[in-house]
Structure 1
Amino acid sequence: MALVLIVDDAADNRMVLSALLEDTYEVIEADSGDACLTITTQQPPDIILLDVVMPGKSGYEVCVTLKSDPATQMIPVIFVSAKDTTEERLQGFEAGADGYITKPVDGQKLLQMMIEKLQQAEHHKHTKEQAGQAMQVAMEAMTNSSELGNIIEFVRQTQQIRTAESLAAAIMTSAASFQLSACVLINTHEPVVVGCAVDDLAGQLLGKFRNHDKGITHHGIRTIIHTPQVVVLIKNMPLSDENRYGRLKDHLAILADIASGQVQLLEAEERLAIERKQMLDEIIKMTESTIQHAGHEASQQTHNIRQEVMAMVEELESMLFSLGLDEDQEKKLMHLAHRTSERLQSRSHSLDVIDESLGKVLESLYRYQSSRTSGE
């Protein structure tokens, strides 16, 4: 059964939360920030429900202290507060909180959040244990050159990347190779966020740096590496290890610069694809117009030829009676007239073939346009 520490200077608030949780969890209480820190040192809980406004140390100060201590930084902290502004929530997040819920407390929502945070904490604990074992085995071999090898691998991967989502995932993978937990914003015309939700506290913090210049900013225990194209939020930078922190900070800045260059390349390719599509659309439109005009002219020409041939044959037949020709001469003239008519009809048919061929050219353009669209 998980151990829950409820921290609130108001006894009635502690009583309400205890009544809600005592059937599911083991509950202990503290009435101040100092008492919370003392209890946590003596009997570390599995999760802490922390009030914000209290005499002495505020909830924010207590949270920063807990998250700065390696012995307690993995304990989930959920703020339970009457303050419900975005600024207050961001301040809680910057202090290191894992969740924020407002009073009066929605019991079902709190229980669900606690389940999620306890599961995450268990997963992090397991991951940390595995990472610790791996680190112990690899510590002697770990050098700065191996970290640079991770950057080289990132460069190799980015050459194959053609989407903002894949680029963000590659940044997170590279950060994980440094044992860092990250979330990433790719600042394209439609921003892409990976590793957190756009509307949660981490996503909001990323959004604050969308329009910032290149740099590194600290928010509580979190570090933000930002360029105009890429914003990376690192949740667990090793601030207590100055040498490792400085090394990782430089590596992450390099990753951000490389990723920014790839974003610019992707945007240039997208613009080129749009320009090609526009050019193809213009060619198709021009071809349609030309074929329509040519088809109309060919149809008109065919009609005129047929009319003239029919008129000529009719006129020739009527003239034969007045020329006084014998039957053999009349047959020769009529044969000549029919041959001429057939040649003209053949030319008329050639116009139809040309019109059909132009139609096939247009169909080929349509198929090419469709294949380009489906391949994008």
Structure 2
Amino acid sequence: MKAGKVLIVDDAADNRMLLGALLDSDYDTAEAENGEQCLEMLESYQPDLILLDVSMPGISGYDTCVALRKRAATATTPVIFVSAKDSPEERLEGFEAGADDYLTKPIDGNTLLSKVKHHIQLTLDKKAAMQQSQEAMNVAMEAMTSSSELGQIIQFVKEVQSISDVSGLAAAVMSVASQFGLNACVMVDSESPFLLGCGNDSMEARVMLKFRDSGQRVTHLGIRTIIHSSPITLLIKNMPAGDEARYGRLKDHLAVLADIASDRGKGILTEVMMREQRKEFLKQIIQLAEDNIQKTSDEIRV
């Protein structure tokens, strides 16, 4: 396997042939006769290093190098000038144009190979460092995102005990899902199921009712995920199926969210049932008192 790709730019065919012969055993090489052709070739050819003559017809090597540095694709591609001009002024102009190195003709083969290898390796090291830095940044960002999401779950835990009805509970679950960037529907399974985020006769409502009765806890349907933790059923309509890491993280967060909401939901339904029982008990007592009053009144009249 070749160690990289080198573009040789020189108007002299014999110079291109010589440089190609020196490099062919270790590198894939391509040739351009002048600066214009070099810039045109870069639309489809992406070299790891460019050997560039200074004196060429049309635009000079210096101007070609300046143009290379203005292009995003070649802004950091190593450029080595190969020129018969060896004055300090010529070298300085080459480096000012953006070159990484400067070789003079006639070329020493060992020096050429050493320079090419050195600059390509530097480029590979920079790319590896940038990739590692990007990966580290991605990990850090994911950790920060996960921390933020967990913070929202913790805040939900703190606030959920103060919620006293199923509509407030459903709204709180929807709010957390929205903070996650998710489009959700929530069903609280009471005597008459309470729905938020969809209509009673909607497709989403029918899916949640069907899933509730299936006994399954979690089901994934592409970008849709349904989580059931009685009495809560949560339907997410835009899960990030193309982002495996975020998908898995959100799925876990939502399962925890559903469980926390479920515990409070059971408490709310129990409280509702007890209130209804108290109402019924009071009605019975009132009815008994009224019956006794009526009975007493009847006895007095007799």
Given the two structures, how large is their TM-score scaled by the length of structure 1? 0.40
Q: Which has the higher helix share?
A: 1
